[in-house]
Structure formats: structure tokens, C-alpha cells
Structure 1
Amino acid sequence: MPWSVRAPFICSSLLLPLLIGRLTVADGAQTCLPEALPENQRSNITVEGISMPIGITSGDWDANIIINEIAGIVVSEVLGYNYRLGLEIHSLNRLLRLAGCANPDSCTTPSSYHIAMEIYTPAAALSEFTSVASQMGDAAPQNVGSIGYPGTEGIFVFEERRQAYRADTGLDLAYYFSYNASWFHPENYLATVSQVDLDHLLPCGQSVDIAWPAIGQQYLNATGDADGVENRQGKWYLKCWHDKWWPAPACRSNVSNCVAIVTGDGAWGMRTHVQLAAFHNMPVAFASAVNFDAYASVTRTLKSLAFWWSPDTTFSDLQLARVVFPQYDEAEHEQGIFKTVDNVEPLQNWIAAELLNVAQRAVRFVQGFRMSESDLNELLRTHVQSGRDAIRDARGSACAWILTHRDQWSSWVPSQTDCTVGQGLADAQGNFVAARLCHLPTRTGVGEIGEYVHLLPLPGGDSYGASFCSDCELGTMAAARGSTQCTLCRLGEFANSSAMSFCFSCSAGTEQEVDSGRHVIEVQGSCKLCPRGSHCPGSNELVLLAGYFSSAQVPRNCKGPSDLQRRCAVFWGLLLKRLPVRHPEMSTNVRNIFAQVGIRGPAPMAATMNLGSNVEEAYFLLPLS
């Protein structure tokens, strides 16, 4: 289900059995890889003195279960951890599980869930999660990076209907403006409310009122449409037709002729889409199906508009296009005004913070887990074409992918010798391996036999986890035994070759700032003052200051604003910028442009020319003086 699905945290009697039944998928399936680590050799993690398997929290739809099963198989059969898979209906719930929370008001530590693959970014911005995360501080769940493909949700149009509308009107139903009822009649090409059996729909009191308890007040505040809501016992709710359909203003006078959009039993997406329909004058009506099967069946039968999301397999065998709405307006969304839709962003992988301390290899695997959108679509198509049960055999599809894409997932697995904080290399008997000693090369004649760099399997330097030694670069050196990284030469020193064990010193008296901050730079074996218009931060590097330039032929000959002014006078003026002739801020803008390059004085005059009435812009030149 999409990220916008937000089940109530206090479950009704209708939903409670469903949530309990979906909470956990037991791990104990047969192994996938022929070389899988046997179960009796896998280990639990220990958090706050409690031994437990790594918990992976997944969405309860097949596309997400497959991805999380891929992670689970690698975590268990390759990395050697026991794991369990738990199902939730929404990204928000999964983030809360990582924090040890069943809901924002009921949290315990330690958390029994530690990994969540494919989290929708907007879920992490919801107040229910941010309030918990702010209280947890450094112990809050952590985003460890993109999974590589985007997640989208919204209104989709079936391609057959889209093509028919385009052929007759020249308009594209994949764009919101083609639905404006003041100009167009999309209801003549799409399925309407009259074509949907009411028995397939839930009453609003059992769907949208529960899933979005504040939606009525939010809609009224944002749109001012008092006819679209009703007040019951002092609280605003959406006003439903026949207690099943919420019609937008554009078709409220004839609801039967509204374009039908059926969502799932959780009123998926309605919080934002009722406002989108109102603001953009769309003749549509929304209703919730009695269950997921009814949602899929009604949508397939109508083949018109659908609330859908990706990645998902429900309609992956059909051709649908997402309806494009105006781009995201953050300020409006913060006020609860939804004229625009969220940006399409890559889905994210998250971990529980405590996993960093007890299973670093698992953390690095999750960080490295990347899959392209095309690879994902191939995986889901194969799953659908295989005829496997959508949920029950998601693991089978995950295993099939792992067996045929070994090179891809192997790159996500950290090396066994890639030691983490507090660890060192050990042999099969558990004995620590001695640090590797590398001879410092002496090609420049300045190194000495006996100068070594220790490459310890510990963090803290450029050589972390390396199995070989490399030269220090120009401007750096490794002076002492046991160094794990190269050191920059200090101000007044230089290293004009790689593999240096010390830095040359510039001539006496130059290791100081001169001329208001000018430093020294090594030029052909000696130290020179940094030229005007440049900065020398060290390591024989010269950086030009803003407003200066140099040529490739003479890189240390810097030119500045005064040079520009003299040069431009020779060429009878410097073209700075083209501005509209009738621009009200023209004179001020030109002064600002000159100020940016260090030129002061009166605003420049436009070059003498005969400006016709249709001339829109002029060239402004430096005055000759």
C-alpha cells in the first residue's frame, strides 16, 4: 500500500484482527543459496543485554515484501544473522517500529526491528515520527541512503482511455488541466459513479472518517468549500453522497456523472486528492473499496482512473500513466493546502540506531543496497509472470532474483576483512593478524630505508581497511612510523614530489603572512609570494579570488577589476549585460553589476543607438574616461 495510507493507531474492532494477523512473517523457510550459512551457525544480535534476531519491517504488499526478503536472505545466509520479517501497512508505522514504537505514545527499548527497506520520504516528515525522533536524539532511526529507484503515488489513467481522449480532443488526460470542467468533459471518456456497484464500497464512516479523522476540517480550511463537509457533534467530516462517495464541487450537482476514483479500504490518498480535485475543478468523486481485492477488481473492470502507486504489481501488467499536477509547494503543504503534489524522490533505506553498534556489516549491506528502476520493474514483471502467489511466495521471487543476479547483490556485501570500529583482522583460530608493514618508496631520494606506514584494520585514516600501501601525494608526507594517513605540509613548507617522508622548508622569513594576508607558494623549487588576486591555502595550491582571472599560458599572472577597466577602455566599452530597455530597475541593476566587479562611479550609459519602438533590450557599456 502507498505511503499515504495511515491506519489509526487506536485500532477499531474491524481492523484489529487484520493488523494482528499481518504483524509477523516467521523466518524458517528453506535456504535459497546453495552455499548458504547453515542456520545453526547464524547468530542473534544483543541489544541492551537482550538477544534477538535482526528485525526487518516490511510493507504488506508484494513488491515491498520481495525487496525486504532479498535483504533478509542476504542478511541471514551470507552475513550470518538470524532475522525476522514483520509487516506493516504504512512507511510511518515502519519508521516507528525502528524507534521501538507501536504508536507515537507507546514506545519501548530496545526495538525489535532494525531494518526498513524502501521508505517513502514524506513519511519521515510526518509529525507522528518527527516528534518521537526529536525525543530520541542520537538514538533515533537513521536514514542510510537511497535504494536507487523512486516511489510515486497518485491518480493514474489507463492508456486506452487516454488515447481515445487525445484522438478526439487533442488533450492529454495525463495532465491535470485536461480535467477542468469549465472547459472540457472528461466524464464522456471515463467511467462514472453510475457504473460502480455500491455493494463494493465501504461507508465513509468506516473508511475516510477513520483513516483521516481531521480531513474535513483540513479541507474546509484550505478550500472554503462548506458544501463539501458536514458537522457532526462539533467536528467536520467530508459530506458523502449515499454515504459512499465524496463528490468534488465540479460535479456535485450530478454525482452519478462524476468520474469514479475507487481507492482502498484505508481511503488511500484522499487527504490530498480531495483538495486537488477541488482546486483544479476536476469532475471526480472518491470512494473506498470494501477490501483490497474489491479495489483491484473494480479498478480493472472500469479501466478508467485509478489511485495507484509504484513500485507495485497490482496493475503492472497493464498500461497506465500518472496524472501530472503542479510541482510541490512546500509552504502550502506546511499549511495543509494541497494544490500541488509531492516531488518524486528516491525511496530510502533506514536502520535502527542501535544496529550500528551490534551489526556493522548488516548496516553496510543496507547502505550499499542499490537497484535501478529498470531492474526493479524486471523483478516485478518476472514475479507476476511466474504466477506465484502475490504475498505468500514473495520469498520465492526474491530467491529467484538472488540466484540469477549474484554479481549485483554481491557488490552490496561488505568484505569480511573490512573491519569496523573496535575490531581487527583475525585468522580462522581467532588470533589477531599482525599489522601490515609497507616500505615508503624512495624514488625522490628523500625517503629513507626503514620509513614505514602501518596499515592497521582500524578506522581513522586514508588507509582504513586497505590491503596495500599507496604513496603520499604532492604537498603531503608521512613522517613517522605507524602513520595511517598522509599529512599536509605546513605553511612555509612544500613537498614537490609524491612519497615524501618530510616537507622542504621555504627560505627564512617567508613563513608569515605579508601584504594583508598574502602567503607563500613554491615555484620551481623556491618560495614566492602569492600574486595579487590569489590565495595560497597550502600544499602548493593557488586559488584565484572572486573578480580575478588568469590565462592558461601565464597562470600566476592574475588580472582584476582595474585591469578589466583599462582593457575595456581600449575596446570602446565592455559588454556587461543585456537588460530590458523599459525595465523599471534598469539603472539600479546596472550599478549593481558594476559593483560586483569592483567598479564604482555613476551608472554607465547605453551605447548611442536609434532604439525603435519594438526594441526590447539594449547593451550597456562602460563609460570612457
Structure 2
Amino acid sequence: FRSREHIYMKRSQLDAAREDGIILNLHGSYNTTHHDARKYFDGLDSLNTSDFDTCNRSVVSWLPSADELEDYINWTGDTDGVTQDADGTNTIWCPDGHFWIAPACRHNVTSCIATVTFSGSLLLSMMHWSAFHGLPLALGSYVDVYDFFAKMKEGKTLFYWWEPENYRFDVDKVPLLLPMYNASEWAKEKRRFALDIRMLEELNQRLAEGGISPGDGPGEGTAVIHRAACDWVRSSESLWRTWIPTTCDAGSGLADVGGQFLLSRGDDAVGCSVCSSGRFSEPLLDSEGFTYRCATCPPGTSQEFANQISCNHCALGRVANQAGATECDLCPLGTFADQEGRAICDSCGDDTWTTKELVASDQ
């Protein structure tokens, strides 16, 4: 089955909207130009601000980093959703100090749909989704997870949740449907699509073997969950490695878990590493799409620097007789290289000679 972290709503809200001809679990139904999805949800006035974390980075560690927010701005263009701390670093902009307001309802916060999470879970992704799809959300993160659970049960907000779950709260909930997961875009921190990763039923089986049932309450069996998860990761490496995006940028290339360069994705590619000196970033198109690999510079060429997309031909009077050279060697006395990109030096012969190294032709 599928495992996911996502935005959820109660089925009762979905049913109420369906009676009005609106399919509330489709992201297009939140377009404020054509629909008023807000009337099926609570607004900010239903929440107690003191129950929520502040947007102060010095107080809250889970806030999106400055680099993550720079990516957010680059992909969405929403400069008004980000401000700067006293030291000039980017941080999320919360007008009341607690809630980030999406562009679609920033002009009128009463039109925002209260959307809650805890410990900042999925908040950055929710920001991307709000900006890309025009979702009128007011995002806040509860300080106390039990307050979050209570609101999820009793309120009418959108809320963070995950599947498969190991708690049961007797809340019939459905996810908000977004465009399907796209690995290459997520690898570039462009979070326009949903995050949706396939897992095995074996994980739930291991949880059950560890004494965890769907009826367990919050906090029960946490250590067992961690042990079961670790056991599953160790025993299922061949599966989960295939989930890791391996779309590399120019200047880098496919690499295994130890950082060793690979020429194809295969079963061992788990990420990307910057191409070292003596190598160059070579485009690769395979069945999974476009990426780069770090190929060695061929004989007759060299590359002194890392993070490069090509190798340099050896200059006149210099050669590189092996692949992966970081510099070209001088032709020794009695030899010459009269063309660029040579792998070996030619001998001057019996009737000619050189009087110094680094010559382009015999004398």
C-alpha cells in the first residue's frame, strides 16, 4: 500500500460540500475565484493563538531554513510570504507571530482556512502547495500534540496526518488530492506535487509483531515503533534505495552510499556527489529520465578543478597518457607533442632533438 504525509479533512466536510456540488478533496475546489471552500471549515477565529508555536527562529527550531525559503521564493515568486530576521536571514512571515498566511487569502485573513500541524510537520510543503495551487490556508503548528489531536477530532480544520497510522481517533478522514509525486521536482526542492512513497505491507506486519496495533494511543510503544522501523530499513535496503531520487545537476553525478561515483543509476545509486578533479559531469538519459554522471577525463585531457562539466585538451608540448588526469605532463627531452589533446609524446628520432621540455615540434 502507499504511505504518505499529507493534508487531510474529515469525511463529514467532504459529504457536506458534495451536497452543494463541490468535490472538496480536489485541490482545484479551493480556487477562490470559482469556489468558496472556506465555508466548510473553521477560520483563524476558531483557534487559540496561545496554543501555537511562534514564527521566531530563535525560539522554534523546526522553522524552514533560510536556504529552504530561498528555494520557496525562487519556485513560487512569493516574496511577501518571507521576511528577514535581524541578522538578515530569511524566515517565514507570520503577521500575528503564529500563523503563516497563504497568498490566496493574505489580503483578507478571515477568508483563510485554518490548517494545523504539530512540530512543524509538512509546513514547508504546505506553503509550496498553497502558493502553487492557490489554496487559501492559514498554517499554524500546535505546541502540544494532544491539543492538535483534540482539534483534529472536534474541529473543522484541514490538518496534517500520515498513513499508515498507528493511532486510532475514530475520525473518518480523507486526504486533499494534489498532482502525483514527481521525484525530479522534489529533488530540486520544487514541492508542487504531493509526496507519495510506496512501501511494503511488511512494515505494518513488523509493527504488529512488535506489539503495536491500530488502537494504540499516543505515546504507547514508541520505542517498539522505532525498533521495528529500523529493522525494516536494514532488511529492505534493496527496496527503499529505489525510492531515493537520483536526478543530479550539472557539475555533480550519480554516487553510491559511500560517495563513490557510478556510471548508471542501477541498484546502488542513492544520490549525487560533486564531480572531483580529473572528472567531468556528463549528461545521461536513461529510462528514468535525465541526470548526470561523473565520467573520468579521457587520455589527452585533464581537469584541475571539481564541479566541472568538461575536460580541457592538453596544450602543445603536454600530454595525459591515462584517463582521469588532473593536469597534463610536460613532454620530456627528446620528445614532442605538436597537437593539442595528445596522449603520448612523439620521439624526435635520430636526426632531430629538443633542447628543453615542453616543445611543440622537434628542432
TM-score interval, normalised by the smaller of the two chains: 0.5 to 0.7
Q: How does 1:201-212 map onto structure 2 within 5 Å?
A: 201-205=52-56, 210-212=62-64
Q: How does 1:225-624 map onto structure 2 within 5 Å?
A: 225-232=78-85, 233-265=87-119, 267-346=120-199, 371=202, 383=213, 385=215, 390-392=218-220
CA distance in 1, matches of 2:38, 2:214: 32
- Count of aligned pairs: 224
Q: CA deviation at 1:378?
A: 8.9
Query: Does the C-alpha gap of structure 1 residues 316 and 293 become closer, same or farther in structure 2, counting only changes over 3 Å?
Result: closer
Q: In the alignment, which of 159, 180, 201 is matched to residue 11 of structure 2?
A: 159
**Paired AA for residue 219 in structure 2:** I
Q: CA deviation at 1:327?
A: 1.6
CA distance in 2, matches of 1:377, 1:183: 44
How big is the alpha-carbon RMSD for the aligned residues of Structure 1 and Structure 2?
A: 3.1
Aligned to 1:172: 23
Query: Does the C-alpha gap of structure 1 residues 181 and 382 become closer, same or farther in structure 2, counting only changes over 3 Å?
Result: same
Q: CA deviation at 1:212?
A: 2.0
Q: Secondary structure at the match of 1:165?
A: helix
Q: Is the 8 A contact 1:261 1:306 kept in 2?
A: yes
Q: CA deviation at 1:208?
A: 6.4
Aligned to 1:183: 34
Q: In the alignment, which of 37, 45, 50 is matched to residue 194 of structure 1?
A: 45
**Paired AA for residue 262 in structure 1:** V
Q: Secondary structure at the match of 1:204?
A: coil
**Paired AA for residue 300 in structure 1:** K
- The normalised TM-score by structure 2 is 0.55
Query: Does the C-alpha gap of structure 1 residues 290 and 395 become closer, same or farther in structure 2, counting only changes over 3 Å?
Result: closer
**Paired AA for residue 391 in structure 1:** G
Q: Is the 8 A contact 2:26 2:176 kept in 1?
A: yes
Q: Is the 8 A contact 1:251 1:284 kept in 2?
A: yes
Q: Secondary structure at the match of 2:97?
A: coil
Q: CA deviation at 1:334?
A: 2.6
Q: Is the 8 A contact 2:168 2:217 kept in 1?
A: no
Query: Does the C-alpha gap of structure 1 residues 379 and 280 become closer, same or farther in structure 2, counting only changes over 3 Å?
Result: farther
Q: CA deviation at 1:293?
A: 1.3
Q: Is the 8 A contact 1:209 1:237 kept in 2?
A: no
**Paired AA for residue 271 in structure 1:** L
- The normalised TM-score by structure 1 is 0.33
Query: Does the C-alpha gap of structure 1 residues 342 and 193 become closer, same or farther in structure 2, counting only changes over 3 Å?
Result: same
Q: CA deviation at 1:393?
A: 5.0
CA distance in 2, matches of 1:158, 1:217: 33
Q: Secondary structure at the match of 1:205?
A: coil
CA distance in 1, matches of 2:146, 2:170: 16
Q: Greater CA radius of gyration, 1 or 2?
A: 1
Q: In the alignment, which of 220, 224, 237 is matched to residue 73 of structure 2?
A: 220
Q: CA deviation at 1:243?
A: 0.5
Q: CA deviation at 1:262?
A: 1.0
Q: Is the 8 A contact 2:3 2:196 kept in 1?
A: no
> Which deviations, in whole Å up to 9, do the C-alpha atoms of 1:487-526 show, x marking residues without a partner?
xxxxxxxxxxxxxxxxxxxxxxxxxxxxxxxxxxxxxxxx
Q: CA deviation at 1:344?
A: 3.1
Aligned to 1:99: none
**Paired AA for residue 164 in structure 1:** A
**Paired AA for residue 106 in structure 2:** R
**Paired AA for residue 48 in structure 2:** D
Q: Secondary structure at the match of 1:230?
A: strand
> Which deviations, in whole Å up to 9, do the C-alpha atoms of 1:518-558 show, x marking residues without a partner?
xxxxxxxxxxxxxxxxxxxxxxxxxxxxxxxxxxxxxxxxx
> Which deviations, in whole Å up to 9, do the C-alpha atoms of 1:307-343 show, x marking residues without a partner?
1111224455211011111122333223221111223
Q: CA deviation at 1:389?
A: 5.2
Q: CA deviation at 1:176?
A: 0.9
Q: Secondary structure at the match of 2:202?
A: coil
Q: Is the 8 A contact 1:194 1:257 kept in 2?
A: no
Aligned to 2:266: none
Q: CA deviation at 1:298?
A: 2.2
**Paired AA for residue 320 in structure 1:** K
CA distance in 2, matches of 1:279, 1:289: 25
CA distance in 2, matches of 1:254, 1:165: 22
Q: Percent identity?
A: 24
Query: Does the C-alpha gap of structure 1 residues 390 and 262 become closer, same or farther in structure 2, counting only changes over 3 Å?
Result: closer
Q: Secondary structure at the match of 2:105?
A: helix
Q: Is the 8 A contact 1:175 1:324 kept in 2?
A: yes
